[in-house]
Amino acid sequence: MTPNRRMNQTNKPESPADDAETSPTEAPAPGEKPARSVGSRMGIAALILAASIFLSRILGFLREAVIAYTHGASYATDAYYAAFTLPDLMSYLLAGGTLSVTFIPLFSSYISRGEEEAGWRMFSTIASTMGVVVVAFVIALEIFTPYLIPLVNPGFVNDPRQLELAIQMTRIVVPAQMAFYLGGLLQATLFVREVFWPAALAPLVYNVCIILGGLLLEPWLGIQGFAVGVVVGALLGPLLLPVWAARKEIKFKFRFDPFDKDFRTFVLLALPLMVGVSLVTVDEWLLKYFGSLAPDGAISWLNNSRKMMLVLFAVIGQAAGQAALPFLTRLYHQGKETEMGAMLASSLQRVGFLSMLGSAGLIVIAEPIIWLVFKRGAFTAADAAQTASLMVIFAAGLAAWAIQTLATRGFYARQDTITPMVIGTVVVLVSLPIYWWLYGAYGVLGLAASTTIGITLNALATLGVYRVRVGALPLKPIAAGILRGALFGVACGAAAWGARHLLAPYLDFRLPVENIALLIAMGAAFFAVGALMVALLNPPELDAILGRLRRRFARGKTAP
């Protein structure tokens, strides 16, 4: 074992992104470059998606900032965010909200056997049959939205303006689900082929269109301009980009056949996700449901603070989950259970470490970052204070969000959607009284606490059940990664917090320029302490990154 490479208890590399020399690969032909290991390709995919998600979230900040500037936290913004409840519910009912995890294992099984024609035949059947179903749902929602909005947002009944605005915007955004569904199905085929750039660019195009829609159409449509941007963005990004990327490979023929064998298999795989519930999805509905009963602006406070936390979740957990599924599926089909478990464990170890570190960072910068992003125009100081308080509570659950998302991929790779459904449904049933009680006792702060408690229960249950059911999942490296992340987070967070208080007499976070300077100083303190701890403790979660840097530095020194 080299000094720069630590191994976990299963003698596998700690990181899924280790270089080819640390994982077995097929020997290259004479004159060819060595093939990258599965772990290395998975790590590269995760980095591509993480970079895309980060940029998308930056644009998302700009989008939310524009909405806050023009409309504040008001009945109109609450109606806008609530307008996505029914479309999201439709998406969940049709594919459990996770189309790729149901389709990728099926399509991958055909590709791995060299039966590409059969794979595209299955794609055509599912796309055609489910496409007809999606259209039927869109038409039904357009008709019945006025009757459904009062059910999912009961507080809107007391404000006719808010109720009517929510109905109008729901009807605008519902058709976007057709683009999301068909584009997601096609994107799944690209994931199997390890083509990730359309998934990386799609959210960027989507967010840009929403921003432009809101800015350009504001004089005529008000906040509804953002809703129009949603539809245009869904068409140009999530749908047309995958179509363009797959234009040479796609073999589609309209095949409406609900009795086809492959379609029945797809439905049986997706059915548990359709009929079951998961707190990852239900949480947002519950926040909007209870938030509609709270004072105007509550849904906006919850939405903005939760999304700030979800930025890091998306970069750390969502990207890792998206990148991991195709590779875990391939290992499962190859019968490499031990290697699959070791890869999943090392990915969870790294995700746990980074999430705990990120959680600490979010907590200490909550107030200045909320002021910087949102406090302007119609968004008041009181709105900013409430949003920052909620962000602190949401940030405490970051690691649970990331671990939960990645751990479920272990089940999905095995074409097991029933177990995550059962776990999710049980956790939701246990969590419902928690939401009700904490909201009644502490208002919107209690709702944020309910989210963190519930998702933590979900993550622990998912890991525990996977370990019991499958066995091939080392838990000690995961726990070690989380604990090391907590240690680093406390030290780095304390340094950033100290820097803020030291500079408080000189830098006022309520002034934009001084706010930026304060955040830079806090970030410098945070990363300086982090770098010192890395040098002293050499955490294995960063071995892959540090190893590459050392090798590149060494090559640079020896280059002529």
Q: Tens digit of pLDDT for each residue in 363-382?
A: 999 999 999 988 877 888 99
CA distances, 380 to each of 73, 294, 308, 384, 390 (Å): 8, 18, 18, 6, 16
pLDDT, position 545: 59
3-state secondary structure of 511: coil
Q: Are 245 and 183 a contacting pair, CB within 8 Å? A: no
List, for residues 374-432, the tens digit of each pLDDT value.
887 788 899 999 999 999 999 999 999 999 888 888 888 887 878 888 898 899 999 99
List, for residues 285-301, the tens digit of each pLDDT value.
889 899 888 888 898 89
137 vs 95: CA distance, rounded Å = 13
Q: In the structure, what pLDDT confidence band is assigned to residue 552 with cuts at 50, 70 and 90?
A: low
Mean pLDDT of the chain: 82
Q: How does DSSP classify residue 277?
A: -
Instruction: Pick 97 or 178 by higher pLDDT.
Output: 178
Burial of 248 (0-12, 13-18, 19+ CB in 10 A): exposed
CA distances, 220 to each of 110, 155, 214, 224, 300 (Å): 50, 27, 10, 9, 23
For 406-419, what is the HEC assignment?
HHHHHHHHCCCCHH
| Beta carbons within 10 angstroms of residue 128's beta carbon | 18
541 vs 478: CA distance, rounded Å = 10
Query: If you search the block for the tokens 């246990």, which residue do you land on?
Result: 430
Q: Are 281 and 92 a contacting pair, CB within 8 Å? A: yes
Q: Which amino acid is at 82?
A: A
3-state secondary structure of 293: coil
Q: Which amino acid is at 452?
A: T
| Beta carbons within 10 angstroms of residue 476's beta carbon | 12
Beta carbons within 8 Å of 199's beta carbon, 6+ residues apart: 49, 52, 187, 190, 191, 242, 322
- As a whole number, mean pLDDT of residues 357-367 equals 95
Counting Cα atoms < 13 Å in the Cβ hemisphere of 265 gives 13
pLDDT, position 26: 42
Beta carbons within 8 Å of 365's beta carbon, 6+ residues apart: 496, 519, 522, 523
468 vs 449: CA distance, rounded Å = 29
Low-confidence winner among 28-32, 58-62, 495-499, 520-524 (lowest mean pLDDT): 28-32
For residue 41, the surrounding DSSP H or E stretch is helix 38-71
> Where does 235-336 have alpha helices with state H?
240-245, 261-275, 279-291, 298-313, 319-333
48 vs 89: CA distance, rounded Å = 29
> Where does 174-251 have alpha helices with state H?
176-192, 197-221, 224-234, 240-245
Instruction: Pick 19 or 317 by higher pLDDT.
Output: 317
SS3 breakdown of the chain: % helix, strand, coil, rounded to 5? Answer: 80, 0, 20
Does the pTM exceed 0.85?
A: no
Which among 412, 418, 425 has a CA at the least distance from the CA of 322? Answer: 412
Which among 169, 166, 86, 184 has a CA at the least distance from the CA of 130? Answer: 184
Q: How does DSSP classify residue 204?
A: H
Q: Are 489 and 360 a contacting pair, CB within 8 Å? A: yes
pLDDT, position 361: 95
Q: Are 316 and 50 a contacting pair, CB within 8 Å? A: yes
211 vs 64: CA distance, rounded Å = 9
36 vs 17: CA distance, rounded Å = 10
Low-confidence winner among 139-153, 358-372, 408-422, 472-486 (lowest mean pLDDT): 408-422
Is a pLDDT exceeding 80 seen at residue 550?
Answer: no
Handedness of CA 236, 241, 244, 247 (dihedral sign): negative
Q: In the structure, what pLDDT confidence band is assigned to residue 42 with cuts at 50, 70 and 90?
A: low
504 vs 514: CA distance, rounded Å = 10
List, for residues 11-31, the tens digit of each pLDDT value.
333 333 333 333 334 444 444
- As a whole number, mean pLDDT of residues 110-122 equals 84
Assign residue 11 a region: left if phi > 0, alpha if psi is -120 to 50, beta otherwise?
left
Q: Are 519 and 371 a contacting pair, CB within 8 Å? A: no
| Beta carbons within 10 angstroms of residue 360's beta carbon | 26
List, for residues 243-289, the tens digit of each pLDDT value.
998 888 888 889 898 988 888 888 887 776 666 567 777 888 889 89
pLDDT, position 7: 31
Q: Are 447 and 290 a contacting pair, CB within 8 Å? A: yes
The DSSP result for 455-493, as a single string, is HHHHHHHHHHHHHHHT----SHHHHHHHHHHHHHHHHHH
- Angle (deg, nearest 10), helices 116-152 and 99-112: 170
pLDDT, position 386: 94
553, two tokens: 């530095």
Q: How does DSSP classify residue 74?
A: S
pLDDT, position 21: 32
The DSSP result for 5-40, as a single string, is --B-TTSSBSSTT--GGGS--PPPPTTSPPPPPHHH
Could you tell me what percent of the chain has a pLDDT over 70? 84
